[in-house]
């Protein structure tokens, strides 16, 4: 691009109305790198920017234009009103989202990336208190929500354990929820019983996020999964419309894949290959919902049939207890998603995902650890995305998403450029 590289970048910053610092943070590169790209071509220090940066910037600019169009045409009001549940600012199910609203959420998640990557600090929720109520153990999810709230400047009160002390004495969900609502400003609730979180939500007017209600929903997981797919595709220069997604493993009991499938169905012309062992197929009511949108669905129990051509391989664990003993024979080998399988059936730019945790023990029917150094393995980038997506959820439900941009300041402490020693080099683009 030689000379036009400077013009291109300057134009992008102007259209997005961003300073160099913020722009560099927005596209996840070092300010220093950006500066070298903006130097005159005859400068000794000048560098060409990688092509992927160009594509990324182009997409940001186009999306910005699109979103401004949405905003102007719709006069639609705050996102939280458009996804509200009976007028309340709560996130209970992925069914609350349209393609437009989910992409608006992700634009806010993008805004959170400089904070999530420890380049910037925001205190926009300073003074607010989150009640992080986990009636079922889930350290990972609990810490992810808690850290996300802290990174917005808020404080967190945790409760853990199968049962609340007072609920054991006969207190109703109604009372528990209403009393906690007087103490905190938002609640995340995880509970082993389907529908229980909705019951909590009905008893309060403050923001509630469903952190997983047994076999029900776990919407923040599905949202971060979709966000990961879109982010990875953006890096690869791909579009989600028309893509091929393979879902592997226990598709019957895994609530994660149910919610993800519903979100993916908001896009156009996807092909799904659902690869499950006999007896663990995706339930019909989900299939019906997806088919109505005109997507192609293929069901198989063979990796060899389902993986070829996939842009995304989404693996989940198959719990041994789910099988009758006679079926277990020979199953493990042919069903595990490992390096041999991926190298044989997948493409060079296929991305491999997993909701985690995965069972890393040798005899597990799960995603193998022999892919840990393969850059196609996106599971840790996916887990990392839990922070910006959950920050966006909180910001939207509490109505502060418009305050974040101007609340940013530099982080004082120094962070490693990559949090994982095996993180692929393209992560962060610097």
Task: For the segment 115-144, give every residue that binds a copy of itself (CB under 8 A).
Answer: 115, 118, 121-129, 131, 137-140, 142-144
Of the pair 334, 410, the CB lying nearest a copy of itself is at 410
Over the window 302 to 341, marking each residue x when it contacts a copy of itself by CB under 8 A and - when it does not, the resulting string is ----------------------------------------
Helix (H) or strand (E) holding 238, with range, is none
Sheet (strand 155-159) strand order: 155-159, 129-134, 186-191, 208-213
Positions in 248-287 near a copy of itself (CB under 8 A): none
Over the window 153 to 172, marking each residue x when it contacts a copy of itself by CB under 8 A and - when it does not, the resulting string is x-xxxxx----xxxx-xxxx
CA distance 326 to 430: 51
Helix and strand numbers, DSSP H then E, in the chain: 19, 11
Residue tagged 């595709």 (tokens): 233
Of the pair 302, 417, the CB lying nearest a copy of itself is at 417
Positions in 59-98 near a copy of itself (CB under 8 A): 88
Q: Which range of residues in 3-11, 182-190, 288-296, 323-331 is near a copy of itself by CB under 8 A?
A: 182-190
Q: Which range of residues in 96-104, 209-217, 331-339, 407-415 is near a copy of itself by CB under 8 A?
A: 407-415
3-class state of residue 192 by DSSP: coil
Size of the residue set binding a copy of itself (CB under 8 A): 84
264-297 exposure pattern, b = at least 16 Cβ within 10 A, e = fewer: bbbbeebbbbbbbbeebbbeeebbeebeeeebee
> From the CB of 82, what's the least distance to a copy of itself, in Å?
15
> From the CB of 24, what's the least distance to a copy of itself, in Å?
18
φ/ψ of residue 88, rounded to 5: -105, 150
Sheet (strand 351-353) strand order: 296-300, 271-275, 244-248, 312-315, 351-353
φ/ψ of residue 219, rounded to 5: -60, -35
> From the CB of 277, what's the least distance to a copy of itself, in Å?
18
| Residue 360 found at the interface with a copy of itself (CB under 8 A) | yes
**What residues does 315 pair with on adjacent strands?**
248
Of 179, 239, 296, 304, the residue at the interface with a copy of itself (CB under 8 A) is: 179
> From the CB of 377, what's the least distance to a copy of itself, in Å?
11
| Residue 300 found at the interface with a copy of itself (CB under 8 A) | no
């Amino acid at each position: 691009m030689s000379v036009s590289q400077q013009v291109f970048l300057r134009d992008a910053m102007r259209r997005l109305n961003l300073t160099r610092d913020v722009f560099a943070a927005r596209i996840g590169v070092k300010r220093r790198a950006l500066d070298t790209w903006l130097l005159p071509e005859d400068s000794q220090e000048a560098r060409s920017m990688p092509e992927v940066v160009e594509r990324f910037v182009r997409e940001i600019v186009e999306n910005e234009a699109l979103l401004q169009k949405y905003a102007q045409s719709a006069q639609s009001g705050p996102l939280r009103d458009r996804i509200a549940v009976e007028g309340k600012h709560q996130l209970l199910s992925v069914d609350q989202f349209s393609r437009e609203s989910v992409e608006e959420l992700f634009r806010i998640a993008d805004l959170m990336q400089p904070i999530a990557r420890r380049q910037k600090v925001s205190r926009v929720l300073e003074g607010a208190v989150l009640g992080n109520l986990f009636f079922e153990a889930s350290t990972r999810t609990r810490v992810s929500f808690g850290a996300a709230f802290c990174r917005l400047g808020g404080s967190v009160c945790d409760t853990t354990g199968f049962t609340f002390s007072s609920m054991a004495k006969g207190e109703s969900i109604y009372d528990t929820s209403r009393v906690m609502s007087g103490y905190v400003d938002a609640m995340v609730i995880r509970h082993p019983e389907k529908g229980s979180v909705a019951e909590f939500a009905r008893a309060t007017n403050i923001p509630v996020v469903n952190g997983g209600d047994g076999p029900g929903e776990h919407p923040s997981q599905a949202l971060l999964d979709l966000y990961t797919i879109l982010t990875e595709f953006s890096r690869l220069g791909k579009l989600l419309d028309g893509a091929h997604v393979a879902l592997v493993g226990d598709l019957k009991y895994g609530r994660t894949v149910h919610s993800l499938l519903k979100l993916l169905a908001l896009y156009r012309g996807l092909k799904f290959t659902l690869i499950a062992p006999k007896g663990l197929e995706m339930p019909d009511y989900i299939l019906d919902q997806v088919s109505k949108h005109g997507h192609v669905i293929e069901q198989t129990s063979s990796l060899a049939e389902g993986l070829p051509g996939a842009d995304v391989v989404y693996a989940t664990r198959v719990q041994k207890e789910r099988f009758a003993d006679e079926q277990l024979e020979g199953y493990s080998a042919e069903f595990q998603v490992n390096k041999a399988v991926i190298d044989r059936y997948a493409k060079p730019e296929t991305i491999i995902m997993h909701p985690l945790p995965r069972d890393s023990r040798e005899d597990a029917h799960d995603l193998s650890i022999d892919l840990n150094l393969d850059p196609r393995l996106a599971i840790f980038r996916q887990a990392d995305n839990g922070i910006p997506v959950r920050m966006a959820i909180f910001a939207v439900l509490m109505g502060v998403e418009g305050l974040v941009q101007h609340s940013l300041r530099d982080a004082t402490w120094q962070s490693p450029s990559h949090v994982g020693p095996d993180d692929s080099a393209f992560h962060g683009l610097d």
